[in-house]
Amino acid sequence: MKLPRMRTVLIVGGVALVAGAAAFHAWGVAHVRKVTGNEPQGMPSCIDCHRGGGPAKYERGIARPTPVDLAADPRGRLVYAACGAFQRVAIVDAESAVLLRFIAVPGDATGVAVSPKGDLLAVSLDDQKAIVFVDPAEDRIVGRVEVGLEPKGLAFNADGTLVFVANSGSGTVSVVDVAARTERLTAPAGRDPYRVAVSRDGARAAVVARMASLTTPEQVPTSELTLLDARTGAIVNRVALPSCHLTEGLAFSPDSARVLVPTLRVRNLLPITQVARGWVMSSVLASVDVATGAVSLFPLQSVNRAFPDPAGIAVSADGATAFVAASGAHVVASMDMRAMRVAEPLCDASKDERFSLSVLWMRGRTDVREMPGDVEFVGTGTKARVAVAERLGDSIALLSAAGGALVARVALGPAVDADAPRRGIGVFNSAEFAFQGDFSCRSCHPDGHTDGLTYDFEIDGLGRDVVLNRSLQGIRGTAPFKWNGLNPTIQRQCGMRFATVLTRADPIPEAKLDDLVAYLESMPPPLPPAGKDPARAFTTTAVERGTALFFRMKTKKGVAIPAEQQCVTCHPPPHYTHLQRADVGTGGDHDNTSSFDVPHLTGIGRKAPYLHDGRARSLEEIWTMPGVEDHHGVVTDMNKNELNDLIEFLRSL
């Protein structure tokens, strides 16, 4: 073929290809409009809605001996560490700073407690809906009890007859009979119950919920401290901690009169305009009067020195000193408890905390390795130490109980080079990328999930587009992001936009941003409320009936349902989203748009509240609030039982 002729063929072919692509794009846009009734987002592709295949795969990575919870042996020098997905409990001699050995357990160890005599361990298994009892002298399991979903912290009562278990995923506390190896009773304990403590006089047990309870968007959020009779398990009081969340530790005062709870205080009802003044969130120590439930809030930060993501707390036997970890700043601070008692009238929970007061009780700070968590006193006298779980250091730091200086560090395993997801965990949990180090990604997304709160970002106009904070678990393959679907990648969502509207600091460096994305894409969706085995908690026939309702194309009377009103049109498997925006009639007077990004439904049963502004506190409310009718799928022909079946299917995803 001659060169001029070849050039002609190439030009004609190129023109035809461009024309064909344009025609296909136009057809795709028209097809999406016709089927969904909505304008397509970006460049529509067949795979957006017809991807098929199975669910996304999430790489868990190499299990490392991450100490997520500590317990001190009451007899002296030993400290036990629950090592998470490493599925072991580490035994450390705090006096000689030596790792003695590991005890293997049949699941992810997320909590550990020691009996009053030191002869029995209780270990919570986060992935097993169970706790096990371990004989530490013989390194063997001597019992197992089924409890709630994702058990975390736990504690024996004073005589060792009961164990209280915080069931994070179920929102309950289990009271376990140690001798009978049975769950005696369960009770609600707020949203995401996380840690448990028992008073020294043996009268009370306290369970703290990590996240704020569900409210309507205009209400001030509160997290819950549940007080129980430590002898019987009966509920004694439920104490609301105002504007508090991300609560991961608690301790009783030695006189058993108060419960001390380090926590974040959020101001989500205000526009996010005052990051520089600490008005977005601040760290406090909540002091709760056990007898009356009265709450005082002591600031843990000063005007110009943050204390991001407070975690574990330990109080000395004489009540003079407390040590508190700041997970987001990788420090442990000592506190003068006597000064706090004098200043208590100044720290009423009904008032905003006065940061300038913190100099009265905050003493020294000790730098530790990344993401310190639980804190425990171990040993007595001059050999007393403060053990700190360095979660991302795979180690336990031992501080002097007298002044807080670092005495020794015990590695729980050999040093291993971190892969991208592991490095990304460090980025996610560090407050260094926010103005003055006030907060981290984790401050609003514990474990990559959601705090369930709504926020007003002024980039959309003050009081406009108030939006629910969405879960980051299971977001791989679900682009675009943000409720208006304007961010095509996680890098865009967590990079420049994050710096502009929230952290008010330099963007996360590109290499670290890539690590952060690798971590976010490694997280699977939340387990459904039934855990790994839905048949154990869901009525199988109800799920089957609900499945049929979700995928139906006709009403009960046999009338065809338009494609744009069929559930599966906007929520096709495997993520149960078509990756486009949709208008389902949920826009409000203060929204700049009525078309929102269609959320993925995997793990939806654990993502309350719902809708873009969090106004639906349950899946039921999505369809039962006034004015919904059939805008958000055809539901008005269903009776209550059928709606329950549909919801049961959604909760099983």
Residue 155 domain-assigned (yes or no): yes
Are 613 and 469 members of one domain?
no
Yes or no: say if 85 and 63 are a contact pair by the CB < 8 Å rule. yes
The whole-number average pLDDT for the span 635-653 is: 93
What b/e readout covers 518-531, taking b as 16+ CB neighbours within 10 angstroms?
A: bbbbbbbbbbbbbb
Of 496, 520, 544, the last residue of a domain is 520
Q: How far is Cα 169 from Cα 161, in angstroms, rounded to an integer? A: 25
Q: For residue range 170-217, what is the model confidence (pLDDT) as tens digits? A: 999 999 999 999 999 999 999 999 999 999 999 999 999 999 998 888
Are 544 and 510 members of one domain?
no
Of 520, 551, 584, the last residue of a domain is 520
CATH number of the domain encompassing residue 560: 1.10.760.10
Q: Which residue has the higher pLDDT, 39 or 53?
A: 39
Which of these, 62, 69, 59, 57, lies nearest to 85 by C-alpha position? 62
In angstroms, what CA-CA distances link 46 with 29, 550, 576? 11, 22, 15
Residue 218 has pLDDT above 90, yes or no: no
Residue 85 domain-assigned (yes or no): no
Instruction: Tally the domains of the chain.
Output: 3
Position 111 scores a pLDDT of 98
Residue 552 domain-assigned (yes or no): yes
Are 191 and 261 members of one domain?
yes
Q: For residue range 449-492, what is the model confidence (pLDDT) as tens digits? A: 999 999 988 877 788 888 899 999 999 999 998 888 888 889 88
Q: For residue range 599-610, what is the model confidence (pLDDT) as tens digits? A: 999 999 999 999
Residue 53 has pLDDT above 50, yes or no: no
Are 327 and 429 members of one domain?
no
Q: Ramachandran region of residue 500, left (φ > 0), alpha (ψ -120 to 50) or beta?
A: alpha
Are 338 and 219 members of one domain?
yes
Q: Name the burial class of residue 630, with classes exposed (0-12), middle (13-18) and buried (19+) by CB atoms within 10 angstroms of its CB.
A: middle
Are 396 and 475 members of one domain?
no
Q: Which residue has the higher pLDDT, 260 or 419?
A: 260
Q: How far is Cα 485 from Cα 456, in angstroms, rounded to an integer? A: 17
Residue 554 has pLDDT above 60, yes or no: yes
Residue 307 domain-assigned (yes or no): yes
Are 408 and 425 members of one domain?
no
In angstroms, what CA-CA distances link 51 with 55, 473, 571? 10, 20, 12
Q: How far is Cα 43 from Cα 451, in angstroms, rounded to an integer? A: 33
CATH number of the domain encompassing residue 333: 2.130.10.10
Are 198 and 344 members of one domain?
yes
Of 380, 414, 448, the last residue of a domain is 414
Average pLDDT in the chain: 88
- The DSSP 8-state label assigned to residue 32 in this structure reads H
Residue 550 domain-assigned (yes or no): yes
Q: For residue range 329-368, what is the model confidence (pLDDT) as tens digits? A: 999 999 999 998 888 888 888 777 888 899 999 999 999 9
Helix (H) or strand (E) holding 168: none
Are 410 and 478 members of one domain?
no
Residue 144 domain-assigned (yes or no): no
> pTM of the full predicted structure?
0.89
Are 186 and 269 members of one domain?
yes
Are 462 and 324 members of one domain?
no
Token readout for 185 is 């009773």
Q: How far is Cα 215 from Cα 213, in angstroms, rounded to an integer? A: 6
Residue 82 domain-assigned (yes or no): no
Q: Which residue has the higher pLDDT, 23 or 488?
A: 488
Q: How far is Cα 595 from Cα 588, in angstroms, rounded to an integer? A: 11
* Percent of residues in the chain assigned helix, strand, coil, to nearest 5: 25, 30, 45
Note the Cα 422 to chain centre separation in Å. 17
Residue 640 domain-assigned (yes or no): yes
Are 369 and 229 members of one domain?
yes
Percentage of residues in the chain with pLDDT exceeding 70? 89
Q: Containing domain of residue 631, as a range? A: 529-652
